């Protein structure tokens, strides 16, 4: 069951108030996708995962909290252009703008997830080209984070699981295979080994479609 409520939020950037949907509860039935997108019903609540101020365009999980965000980022031409980029939906643009904010703060992992969520939105709209562009941005951000924290990661195999799928979904099968071979040198858990085996088969077939972690084709 999913429960949502409408709440007024004062934007931490411009101080203006607007109403936003807040997710109170949700559930998941089934395995996540290979890129770790959750199953239903939670996957369909994605519009509540990001808020956009309708006045200044500040995008955040909660626009009433600005943290150390520099207003010049939100007011920059590149950010304002991304807000209305016609290649993507409004929701996808909101996630991409959040990715820009997180990147400016050096939070590369959070930026990567924001870009990947933008891809999920475009997946739902069956816009393969735009979804791929979002994934390419996510790859750059995740790789930047991976490079910065590689030696301190407690579970690097999880990063390989994600990066392999991102490269496969963007039809970079050669790099996906290289990452898979590198990842096999790690101490894999049983479920990770199973995912690697499934990915190996999909890469060999040059299959860039969406699959769950059980190898089931996601037809949604």
Q: Give this prediction's pTM.
A: 0.93
- Segment 35-69, tens digit of pLDDT: 999 999 999 999 999 999 999 999 999 999 987 88
Chain centroid, CA 54 distance in Å:
22
Token couple for 195: 């995912």
Find the DSSP H helices in the chain.
Answer: 71-75, 77-83, 90-104, 108-124, 128-149, 156-169, 173-183, 190-204
- Segment 165-216, tens digit of pLDDT: 999 999 999 999 999 999 999 989 999 999 999 999 999 999 999 999 999 9
| 59-60 vs 3-10, strand pairing mode | unpaired
Element (H, E) at 175: helix 173-183
Q: Which residues contact 56 (CB under 8 A, 6 or more apart)?
A: 11, 13, 14, 16, 74, 75
């Amino acid at each position: 069951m999913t429960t949502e409520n409408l709440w007024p939020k004062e934007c931490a950037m411009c101080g203006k108030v607007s109403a936003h949907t807040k997710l109170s509860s949700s559930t998941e039935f089934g395995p996540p996708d290979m890129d770790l997108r959750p199953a239903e019903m939670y996957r369909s609540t994605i519009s509540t995962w990001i808020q956009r101020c309708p006045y200044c365009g500040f995008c955040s999980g909660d626009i009433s909290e600005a943290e150390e965000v520099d207003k010049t980022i939100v007011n920059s031409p590149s950010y304002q252009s991304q807000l209305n980029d016609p290649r993507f939906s409004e929701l996808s643009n909101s996630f991409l703008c959040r990715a820009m904010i997180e990147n400016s703060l050096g939070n590369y992992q959070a930026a990567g997830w924001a870009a990947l969520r933008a891809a999920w939105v475009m997946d739902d709209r069956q816009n393969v080209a735009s979804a791929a562009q979002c994934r390419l941005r996510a790859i750059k951000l995740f790789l930047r984070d991976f490079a910065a924290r590689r030696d301190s990661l407690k579970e690097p195999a999880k990063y390989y699981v994600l990066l392999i799928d991102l490269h496969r979904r963007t039809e970079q099968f050669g790099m996906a295979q290289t990452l898979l071979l590198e990842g096999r040198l790690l101490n894999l858990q049983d479920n990770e080994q199973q995912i690697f085996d499934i990915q190996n088969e999909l890469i060999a077939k040059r299959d860039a479609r969406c699959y769950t972690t059980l190898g089931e084709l996601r037809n949604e």
